[in-house]
């Protein structure tokens, strides 16, 4: 399950960052997930719930913003959304690397991100001793 390992890395990164700030709890997490990652958002949410159990992330709110795929054509200067084609095998629209304008191969500009955009931490009040 691809989503589980990706989400596990995200949770690890959040815990690390929260630790740096001596956070008591993580209240909310905002993620940007590009459509070209092909991650199932429901699976990401499910994995998240499983992974945060027993950590300071337990009970936190997970917000996911889906980012559209953006391509750039060197040939004609087209920049915008992906062209989708019906996959004859799976019968689902799949993005192609063909420019919808001139048919040349385009470069991916966005949509492959999977990043932590923001998080809301609860910093411990009674823990302001001189640690360093
Ligand atoms: Zn083009």
Does any domain span residue 121? yes
Ligand 1 center to 77 CA (angstroms): 6
> Does residue 132 lie in a domain region?
no
**131, part of any domain:** no
Ligand 1 mean position, distance from CA 68 (Å):
19
Give the largest Cα separation in the chain, rounded: 64
d(CA 101, ligand 1 centre) in Å: 5
Whether 78 and 64 map to the same domain: the answer is: no
Number of domains the chain is built from? 2
pLDDT along the chain (132 residues), means of 10: 92 96 96 93 97 97 94 95 80 82 93 95 69 50
Amino acid 67: pLDDT: 92
> Which DSSP string corresponds to 60-122?
-EEEEEEE--EEE-TTT--EEEPEEEE-TTT-SEEEESB-TTT-PBPEEEES--EEEEEEEEE
51 plus 105 within the same structural domain: no
CA 28 / ligand 1 centre spacing (Å): 41
Residue 116 lies in a domain: yes
Shared domain check, 19 and 81: no
Which stretch of DSSP H or E encloses residue 24?
Answer: strand 23-34
Residue 97 within a domain = yes
Name which of 95, 130, 122 is nearest 111 in CA terms.
95
Range of the domain at 85: 69-110
Q: How remote is the CA of residue 97 from the centroid of ligand 1, in Å?
A: 10
């Amino acid at each position: 399950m691809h989503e589980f390992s990706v989400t596990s890395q995200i949770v690890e990164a959040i815990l690390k960052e929260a630790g740096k700030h001596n956070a008591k709890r993580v209240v909310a997490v905002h993620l940007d997930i590009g459509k070209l990652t092909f991650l199932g958002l429901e699976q990401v949410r499910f994995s998240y719930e499983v992974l945060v159990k027993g950590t300071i992330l337990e009970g936190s709110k997970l917000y996911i913003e889906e980012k559209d795929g953006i391509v750039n054509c060197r040939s004609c200067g087209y920049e915008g959304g992906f062209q989708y084609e019906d996959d004859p095998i799976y019968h689902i629209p799949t993005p192609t690397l063909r420019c919808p304008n001139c048919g040349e191969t385009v470069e991916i500009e966005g949509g492959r991100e999977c990043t932590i955009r923001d998080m809301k931490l609860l910093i411990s009040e009674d823990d302001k001793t001189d640690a360093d």
